[in-house]
């Protein structure tokens, strides 16, 4: 399995190619949507490139836990409740949810995913 | 009128690659104004031709059961202007194809000269009422035949490419209605 640095380098290449951003912009802390300007269709492209670069399989719902974010059990008044945060941590353990949990508006979830989260995500997929 | 920006397929290998040509002629009205006194084939229409070459390749892979739309151009580089009298050759290769979309890499050449390099991402639309009205399957039968895909096409097994059964049935149904 490649080291975290090797994974980061490949993830950075994927993001520069898919989003047309400079390498320097792709820092571990940068968020895909907020900082790097990713739009929904870009995730299709990013997933293609990650699968190819790491020889892994990614399903559409791997990155976006829609079933939690649209559940009446976990979401009230547009906010994810405490049980929902616990569920999200189980469902997307690679995402750092600390900041999101302070004001968990469902509509902000798409902004949370960072480059470091993507590296952890790939790591959990046991790339070759 | 049909929005067709390729003239003929030269090669078509199911699930892999396709090659098509587009002859650029001063008889095409859009060249009269683009630009006055200096006709240049717009790179946007070259992109459209490439997207059609690659889009039919992607659609055929799924037997035209998915609604294929151009989603994104991660890369589009053009090296020189194309003028009337030029023949563009579009080559598209499927880089990646899965259930929700596909990525195609493509080039355009004029003779031996590399004119354009593109990456094209296609998405598959959900099969709802709106996409049904956007995509009439009979258009695919007509377009594929018109462009000679079945004359040159090779299926995944290397044998001659045949019309997908779904399209064939649809064509027969249409004839019956007429």
Instruction: Report, as an integer, the average pLDDT of B49-78.
Output: 92
Which chain A residues touch B100 with a CB distance below 8 Å? Answer: 44, 60
**What are the structural domains of chain B?**
8-177 (3.10.129.10)
CA atoms of A91 and A106, how far apart (whole Å): 15
Going by their DSSP bridges, the two strands B8-13 and B113-125 should be labelled as unpaired
Q: What angle do CA B38, B43, B45 make, to 5 degrees?
A: 105
Q: What is the interface pTM, i.e. ipTM, of the complex?
A: 0.81
| A77-107 tens-digit pLDDT | 899 999 999 999 999 999 999 989 999 998 8
Active site residue: B34, B62, B79, B124, which one? B34
Q: Could you give the CA distance from residue B178 to residue B174 in angstroms, rounded to a whole number?
A: 6
Q: Does B123 touch chain A (CB under 8 A)?
A: yes
pLDDT of residue B129: 61
Q: Out of B74, B100, B123, whose CB is closest to A18?
A: B74
Looking at residue B30, what is its pLDDT?
92
- Annotate B124-148 with DSSP letters as a single string: EEP-SHHHHHH--HHHHHHHHHHTT
Residue among B75, B95, B101 minimizing CB distance to A44: B101
Note if B34 is an active site residue. Answer: yes
Chain A residues with CB inside 8 Å of B68's CB?
none
Q: Is B93's pLDDT higher than 70?
A: yes
Q: In terms of CA atoms, which chain B residue is nearest residue A45?
A: B121
Query: B145: which 2 tokens?
Result: 């035949």
The per-residue pLDDT for range A6-49, each reduced to its tens digit, is: 999 999 999 999 999 999 999 999 999 999 999 988 999 999 99
Mean pLDDT of A110-128: 91
Q: How high is the pLDDT of residue B138?
A: 59
pLDDT tens digits for range B135-154: 665 566 667 777 888 888 88
């Amino acid at each position: 399995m490649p080291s975290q640095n090797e994974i980061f380098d490949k993830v950075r290449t994927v993001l520069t190619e898919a989003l047309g951003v400079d390498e320097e912009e792709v820092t571990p802390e940068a968020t895909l949507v907020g900082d790097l300007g990713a739009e929904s269709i870009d995730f299709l492209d990013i997933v293609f490139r990650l699968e190819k670069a790491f020889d892994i399989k990614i399903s559409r719902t791997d990155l976006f836990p829609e079933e939690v974010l649209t559940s009446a059990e976990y979401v009230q008044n547009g906010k994810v409740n405490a049980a929902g945060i616990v569920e999200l941590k189980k469902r997307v353990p690679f995402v750092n949810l600390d900041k999101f949990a302070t004001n968990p508006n469902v509509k902000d979830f798409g902004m949370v995913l960072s480059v470091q989260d993507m590296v952890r995500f790939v790591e959990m997929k046991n790339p070759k | 009128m049909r929005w067709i920006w390729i003239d003929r397929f030269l090669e078509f290998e199911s699930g892999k690659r396709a090659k098509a040509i587009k002859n650029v002629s001063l008889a095409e009205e859009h060249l009269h104004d683009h630009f006055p006194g200096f006709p240049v084939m717009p790179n946007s229409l070259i992109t459209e031709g490439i997207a059609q070459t690659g889009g039919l390749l992607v659609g055929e892979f799924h037997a035209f059961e998915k609604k294929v739309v151009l989603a994104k151009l991660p890369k589009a580089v053009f090296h020189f202007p194309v003028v009337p009298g030029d023949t563009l050759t579009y080559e598209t290769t499927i880089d990646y194809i899965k259930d929700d979309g596909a990525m195609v890499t493509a080039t355009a050449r004029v003779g031996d000269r590399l004119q354009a390099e593109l990456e094209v991402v296609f998405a598959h639309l959900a099969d709802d009422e709106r996409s049904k009205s956007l995509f009439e399957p009979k258009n695919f039968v007509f377009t594929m035949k018109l462009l000679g895909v079945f004359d040159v096409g090779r299926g995944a097994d290397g044998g001659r490419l045949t019309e997908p059964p779904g399209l064939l049935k649809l064509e027969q149904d249409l004839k019956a209605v007429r």
